Each structure stands twice: as C-alpha cells, then as structure tokens.
C-alpha cells in the first residue's frame, strides 16, 4: 500500500544536512545509487527512525522503499562515496574507499547527535575495484541483526535503519538475492581515511580531517596540538570499545585499519561472530588463516591500528620528526593501561565485584583458564554465575558445565570467599551481574538459520531474533531456545567475508 501517494514534490522524507560532502572534492566521489529491478521492504527500524526524527511509515511506504533502494533520490541528499585507504591483514592498500556504500548526508537526531546515513549495496562507485557494488541478503540481515544487538547490549556501534530487497541476484559462489542496508554511524571516518591522505603526503587534507573529526566527535578534547588531541581520544575510544567486545565474547574478525572507526564504534560486520565455547584463540573468519584477529588478539590489533593512525598524523604534530614520533609514541603507550582499566571494569562487573580489591584480576584470570580448559559456553556461564550469586542452589548447574576433575569447584569457593568482602546484598549483586552478562547474544547457529530462512523468503526467524536481542539482559523464558549453545558439531563454525 502506498500511504504517501500524491506526495508534494518538495516533500522531504529525511531532513538532511550537508556533512562530509562539505569537505573538498578530493575527499570523495559524487555518485548516485544505481536503481534496482524490484525493491521490496525487508524491515524498517521504527525506534531508530523516531530517534532520527524520520517517520517510519513514510520509510516503509513504496515511496520510502524506492528511496532506500536507490531508485529515487532522497530529496535533500548529496550522495557521495568516500575515499579511504587501509592496512588489510597488515598490508597497505593505498586506495580502497566506499566500493558499495553511498553516503547520503547527515541527519541530526532528536538527541541532537549528527549521524551519517549510508546505503550499503547501492551499486558501483569509482572505488569498486571490479566489485559489483552490491550486497547479498545474508550479510545485510546479519549486519542489521548483529549491529542492533550490539546497540541493545550498550556497545558503541553503527546502526541499521532499514533493509530492502532489490529483486536482483548477486553472484558470489552462487546466485543470491540482493539487498541494500541503510546504515547509520556518527561518522564513517576510519583510520584508513587518514592513511589515504597521509600516503599522498596531502598534509592539508589530514589537517582538515583532524579538525572535522575533533569538531564532530570530541569537541571538548584539549591539547595544544589538535592531531595529538584526536589521537588521544581515539586511543581511549578504541580501548574502551575492545574491552566491551571482550566482555560479550565478540570477535570482529577483520580489524583492518579501514574498519577501525575514529568515533570508536563497531563498524563493518563482515565475518564477525560471538564465542560459544570460551577459547581465547578462536577465529571465525575463513580468510584469517594466521589467527591475526583471534578473540584475544583484539586489544593488540587495536593498538596496531592506532599506531597507523599515529603515523598518518605525525607530520601535523611538529616539524621535528623525532620529536613528533616521541610525542605520538607517548600517547600510544597509554593504550595498554587504558585498555586494562576498561577491561578490569568489565570483568569485575561480570564477577559481581563492585568494590575493587587487589587480586580480582588474578581471580578472573584463573576463571578464564578453567573456562578455556573446559570449553565452557561463555555467555551461558556468566549468566548462570549471576544466578549462583543470588542462590547457591544454582551451583550444581554451574558445576555441571565443567568436565570431571576440573579446577572449577575450587575457583567457585574462592569466588564465594571474595564475595564476603562485598558491601552489597546477594540480590543487588545478582541483578548487577545480569546487567553485565547478557542472556542472549546473536548465536552463530541461529544467525545462520535466520539467513537460510530469509533466502527462502521467510523473515520470521529474523524478526524473532531481533525482538529477543532488543532486550539481551532480560530473562525471556519463552525464548530460552535462543539462549542455548550450539551442539558440538557447530564448534568448527566459520564465517565468510560479506562481499
């Protein structure tokens, strides 16, 4: 049904501000989305639309779907594909850029925050490098679901405003239904954006990026040298982000510098996955053969990416190169302590330790050794630990997660002894622990099931997962099946890049 038939010609479905397109022409290519055969709606994110001040019904109408698919321009938008470079698996690629994403402009939400709206899978751009500029329905719904789950978990992330099917096939290993994701980020600035201009020795452009990023993301950053102010803030944002990932068992999978956000948001949900059984060395991505982006490597890799940002910024720090290196290194050296502090806070919350004590991190480390040795399900364990914090009748269930002869019973005793130092009641502690450890994460086997169903045209599993994952910290007994870990046959689960 077309609820907006007879729209006035000047009707603006979304009130766009010029954002990135205000920067000089060499920062991007002007390019419009390529129309598709037969756009149909997969989903509109009602609450996010409301936050952005956009009418969700208008977006869901045939007029809205035509715009989301790129078949009609959004009035007031100024579509561009951004230029960026990046280190991919350690190797520098001087030109990547938006090869299948088109940035429509800024939308200022009801919360006063400016966000960029991008259509991903909207057709080729000058940065497509032989790619088709398109996306298949699987990766689109996966990004929609996982990014919205991250948002509900309270972890900084890009968000999904809508997804539409194109009515066209995209050809990967097989023909798959095509789709376009409308994605929102406070910005799509990446470490790779800075690297692009630094590699071209375009210091003026890097300086403009610094100014743009500071004004947009860190307006209160204080440092006499703007480049150092920015570096400092991105270091903090990334340290906190990765600590939050580790707290929910998230493996990003492709932490290349072009996927490392200046705003500190989780971006580019390609081969990402959540741990089931705890394994610090776990890798899901089929292309990550060396385990570069394994679960426990993520803090180290974030720092590696930040070092690339620092290098790109060096010419702006001071003319004395050695001094510039010294100042940037000084900032980079703060990363481990910032990460450790953020990670310690995450771990304490998961263990119900509200009043920090020396030895807490040793206690956490001892637990992780047990979880790894027993291949214990990460999410389930911490949720059940919260139950045990309230009532030791729940211990039996927890103990049963570990193999016979494990050191876990001894650990449980030392944890209980430590809890005696805590000022809170058992009830308060358990409820705080449940806010730090979700009952529901996007389980890999459920995400795969959802995608298989969507390819067959059945969106019910997608809708159900979205609904449950919107409240990940709440027990939802009627959806317990979605909290279940996969069977052992899923332990070799692999993901593939969403291209």
Rule CB under 6 A: is residue 168 a binding residue for ligand AMP?
Answer: no
**Which residue's entry shows tokens 């996007």?**
442
Choose the contact partner of 497 out of ligand AMP, Mg ion, none; CB within 5 to 8 A by kind.
ligand AMP
CA pseudo-torsion sign 296, 260, 32, 10: positive
Q: Which two tokens stand for residue 320?
A: 């004395």
195 binds ligand AMP (CB under 6 A): no
143 binds ligand AMP (CB under 6 A): no
Part in contact with ligand AMP (CB under 6 A); list of ranges 50-58, 127-135, 245-253, 309-317: 127-135
Under the criterion CB under 6 A, does residue 169 sit at the interface with ligand AMP?
no
Q: Is residue 31 within 8 Å of residue 102, measured between CB atoms?
A: yes
Among 51, 59, 96, 214, the residue binding ligand AMP under the rule CB under 6 A is: 96
- Cβ partners under 8 Å of residue 238, min gap 6: 260, 264, 302, 305, 306, 335
Give the angle subtended at the CA of 488 by the CAs of 485 and 491, to the nearest 5°.
Answer: 85
Q: What residue 131 binds from Mg ion, ligand AMP, none (CB within 5 to 8 A, per partner kind)?
A: ligand AMP
Q: How far is the CB of 273 from ligand AMP (least distance, A)?
A: 15
Asked whether 82 and 98 are in contact (CB, 8 A), the reply is yes
Burial letters for 276-313: b for 16+ Cβ neighbours within 10 Å, e otherwise? Answer: bbbbeebbbbebbeeebbbbebbbbbbbbbbbbbbbbb
Taking CB under 6 A as the criterion, which residues in 226-265 touch ligand AMP? 254, 258-259
Strand partners of residue 118: 103, 183
**Residue 251 or 324: which CB sits closer to ligand AMP?**
251
State the catalytic residues. Answer: 258
Least distance in Å: CB of 104 to ligand AMP? 16
Residues 6+ apart with CB under 8 A from 327: 225, 228, 317, 318
Under DSSP, is residue 290 helix (H, G, I), strand (E, B) or coil? coil
CB of 193 to Mg ion, least distance (A): 11
Residue 134 interacts with, from ligand AMP, Mg ion, none (CB under 5-8 Å by kind)? ligand AMP
For residue 96, the minimal CB distance to ligand AMP (Å) is 4
CA distance 169 to 292: 33
Q: Which stretch binds ligand AMP (CB under 6 A): 91-99, 213-221, 310-318, 320-328?
A: 91-99
Question: What is residue 438's three-state secondary structure?
Answer: coil
Determine the interface stretch with ligand AMP among 90-98, 105-113, 209-217, 423-431 (rule: CB under 6 A).
90-98
- Residues 63, 236: Cα–Cα separation, whole Å: 42
Which one of the spans 131-139, 220-228, 357-365, 456-464 is the region binding ligand AMP (CB under 6 A)?
131-139
Residue 96 touches which of Mg ion, ligand AMP, none (Cβ within 5-8 Å per kind): ligand AMP
- CB nearer to ligand AMP: give 20 or 127: 127
Residues lying near ligand AMP in the complex (CB under 6 A): 96-100, 127-128, 131-134, 254, 258-259, 268, 270, 497, 499
């Amino acid at each position: 049904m077309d609820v907006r038939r007879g729209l006035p010609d000047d009707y603006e479905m979304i009130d766009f501000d010029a954002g990135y397109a205000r920067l000089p022409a060499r920062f991007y290519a002007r390019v419009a989305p390529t129309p598709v055969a037969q756009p149909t709606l997969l989903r509109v994110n009602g609450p996010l639309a409301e936050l952005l001040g956009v009418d969700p019904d208008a977006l869901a109408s045939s007029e809205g779907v035509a715009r989301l698919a790129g078949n009609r321009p959004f009035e007031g938008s100024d579509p561009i594909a951004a230029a960026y470079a990046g280190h991919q698996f350690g190797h520098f690629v001087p030109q990547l850029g938006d090869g299948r994403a088109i940035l429509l402009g800024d939308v200022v939400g009801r919360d006063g925050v400016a966000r960029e709206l991008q259509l991903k899978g909207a057709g080729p751009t000058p940065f497509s490098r032989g790619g088709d500029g398109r996306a298949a329905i699987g990766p689109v719904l996966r990004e929609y679901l996982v990014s919205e789950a991250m948002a509900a978990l309270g972890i900084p992330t890009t968000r999904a405003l809508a997804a539409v099917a194109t009515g066209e096939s995209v050809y990967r290993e097989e023909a798959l239904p095509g789709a376009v994701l409308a994605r929102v980020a406070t910005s799509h600035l990446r470490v790779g954006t800075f690297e692009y201009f630094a590699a071209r020795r375009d210091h003026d452009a890097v300086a403009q990026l610094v100014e743009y990023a500071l004004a947009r993301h860190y307006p209160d950053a204080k440092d006499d040298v703007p480049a150092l102010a920015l570096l400092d803030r991105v270091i903090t944002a990334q340290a906190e982000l990765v600590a939050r990932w580790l707290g929910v068992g998230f493996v990003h999978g492709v932490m290349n510098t072009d996927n490392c956000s200046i705003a500190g948001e989780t971006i580019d949900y390609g081969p990402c996955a959540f741990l089931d059984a705890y394994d610090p060395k776990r890798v899901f991505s089929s292309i990550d053969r060396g385990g570069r982006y394994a679960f426990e490597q993520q803090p180290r890799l974030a720092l590696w990416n930040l070092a690339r940002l620092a290098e790109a910024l060096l010419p702006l720090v001071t003319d004395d190169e050695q001094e510039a290196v010294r100042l940037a290194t000084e900032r980079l050296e703060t990363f481990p302590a910032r990460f450790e502090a953020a990670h310690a806070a995450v771990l304490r919350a998961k263990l119900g330790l509200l009043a920090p004590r020396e030895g807490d991190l040793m206690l956490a480390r001892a637990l992780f050794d047990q979880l790894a040795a027993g291949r214990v399900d990460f999410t389930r364990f911490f949720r059940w630990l919260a139950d045990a914090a309230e009532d030791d009748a729940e211990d039996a269930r927890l103990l049963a997660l570990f193999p016979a002869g494990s050191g876990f019973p001894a650990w449980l005793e030392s944890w209980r002894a430590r809890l005696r130092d805590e000022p809170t009641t058992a009830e308060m502690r358990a409820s705080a622990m449940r806010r730090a450890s979700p009952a529901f994460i996007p389980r890999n086997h459920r995400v795969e099931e959802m995608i298989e169903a969507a390819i067959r045209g059945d969106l019910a599993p997608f809708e159900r997962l979205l609904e449950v994952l919107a409240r990940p910290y709440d027990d939802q007994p009627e959806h317990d099946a979605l909290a279940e870990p996969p069977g052992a046959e899923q332990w070799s689960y692999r993901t593939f890049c969403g291209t």
